[in-house]
């Protein structure tokens, strides 16, 4: 088992390090990894599809601390989700909703209120991280949690026909699971039809295509190019599915 952090803190600055340090403090024998630190900023909706996709290759018992939390310090609740044997901890703002929707079995709990001495502006470190560490060490001892239902995200679609993330190369991840798209499907973005291909080397340099990425999402790329720049894509850009 291991602890993973998914957040929008960015790679620069002290925030990721502070959260990882807190996880190590609370669970010193548990491996701790920073999985994704540049989820769409302040954007729980699009980030929810990344949480669901990037946690799928994990093992039962793994714990994901998920922090994209523009409502930090407000009255929104904190949640724990057990989905197909994996734990997720984060705010009740829809961030965990798609992980639940994509699972076969899902159960929700509400976290106790944050400690009185916790920072109002850093619940990821002071409230969510200790609960994630506790679940990693005591996955069946849940007496401190209260059964709950999430307030946000129940009406969000299973698959999202939008760009949800742009990576370092400019590749544009959609919120569509590739397994649900026929192999001949074309995707239309920014006025262009994008054909499918299996890998980069099967298309000419400079050519846009889409493929199933390593985490099961349909991803739009340009061979030896930047799809985000060349197609003018950003998080939230619509994607149209065209099937012959």
pLDDT at 244 (0 to 100) = 65
Residue-level pLDDT at 183: 81
DSSP 112: P
For 5, 172, 181, 241, the CA distances from 160, given in Å and listed in that order, are 23, 13, 12, 11
Q: What is the pLDDT of residues 96-137, one digit of tens each?
A: 999 999 999 999 999 999 999 999 999 999 999 999 999 999
Residue 227: band (very low, low, confident or very high) from pLDDT cuts 50, 70, 90: very high
Quick: pLDDT tens for 127-161: 999 999 999 998 776 788 889 999 999 999 999 99
Tell which phi-psi region holds residue 190, choosing left (phi > 0), alpha (psi between -120 and 50) or beta: left
The full set of domains in the chain, from first to last, is 3-147 (3.40.50.10790), 160-242 (2.40.30.90)
Indicate the pTM of the whole model: 0.95
């Amino acid at each position: 088992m291991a602890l993973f952090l998914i957040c929008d803190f960015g790679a620069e600055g002290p925030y990721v390090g502070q959260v990882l340090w807190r996880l190590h403090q609370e669970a010193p024998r548990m491996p701790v990894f920073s999985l994704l630190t540049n989820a769409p900023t302040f954007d729980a909706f699009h980030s929810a599809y990344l949480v669901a996709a990037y946690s799928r290759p994990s093992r039962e018992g793994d714990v994901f601390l998920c922090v994209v939390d523009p409502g930090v310090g407000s009255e929104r609740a904190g949640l724990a989700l057990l989905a197909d044997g994996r734990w997720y901890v984060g705010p009740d703002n829809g961030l965990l909703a798609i992980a639940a929707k994509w699972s076969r079995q899902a159960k929700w709990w509400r976290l106790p209120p944050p400690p009185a001495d916790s920072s109002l502006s850093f619940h990821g470190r002071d409230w969510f991280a200790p609960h994630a560490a506790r679940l990693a060490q005591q996955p069946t001892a849940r007496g401190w949690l209260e059964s709950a239902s999430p307030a946000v995200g129940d009406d969000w679609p299973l698959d999202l026909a939008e760009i949800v993330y742009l990576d370092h190369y400019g590749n544009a991840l959609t919120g569509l699971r590739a397994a649900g798209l026929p192999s001949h499907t074309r995707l239309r973005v920014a006025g262009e039809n994008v054909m499918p291909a299996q890998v980069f080397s099967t298309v000419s340099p400079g050519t846009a295509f889409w493929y199933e990425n390593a985490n099961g999402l349909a991803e739009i790329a340009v061979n030896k190019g930047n799809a985000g720049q060349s197609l003018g894509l950003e998080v939230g850009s619509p994607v149209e599915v065209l099937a012959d």
